[in-house]
Amino acid sequence: MGVGRAESPSYIHLGSPMAAKPAGKGFIRLEVIAPIPTAFRHCVHCEQVMDAQIGARVRLEMVQEYPSEFLEAFDRLMAWIDEITARFGPDLQVRVVDPQSPEGLWKCLRYGVRRYPAFIVQGRRRAVGWDWEAVEQALDEAWAAR
């Protein structure tokens, strides 16, 4: 058996061009530091040997064991990210980072984040908590400055 590993310690929004090309001058970077529902899986080689249906069902059960408030907050965050991505289009890169991952811990220390979600626009801490207006204002300012 392989050593367990976390699935998706960071999440790149599907509407984001981040995976396709590096950030350039015309892009707005939005990093969201927020807890992400995580499921553990076996190493890639073990996953290929095991029945994929069983593994997928087990991971789904793991995620469903989270408290409903946690999953609702995550769904609320993802819905807002979908909305803001649709508004700004491909020029907005959104990356969600789990604070429990090594990268997330580093970002929490770097930006002094102690509450979630935290929003970092263009490498500067802009808002903490569910204040969408503050985040949208920071995005509008970054959009105007590009």
What is the count of structural domains for the chain?
1
> What value, to the nearest 5°, has the Cα angle with vertex 137 and ends 122 and 83?
85
What CATH number is attached to the domain comprising 84?
A: 3.40.30.10
What's the pLDDT tens digit per position in 92-140?
Answer: 999 999 999 999 999 999 999 999 999 999 998 889 999 999 999 999 9
Provide CB contacts within 8 A for 5, sequence distance 6+.
40, 41, 43
Tell me: cis bond preceding 90? Omega within 30 of 0 counts.
Answer: no
pTM comes to 0.71
For residue 77, the enclosing domain spans: 5-145
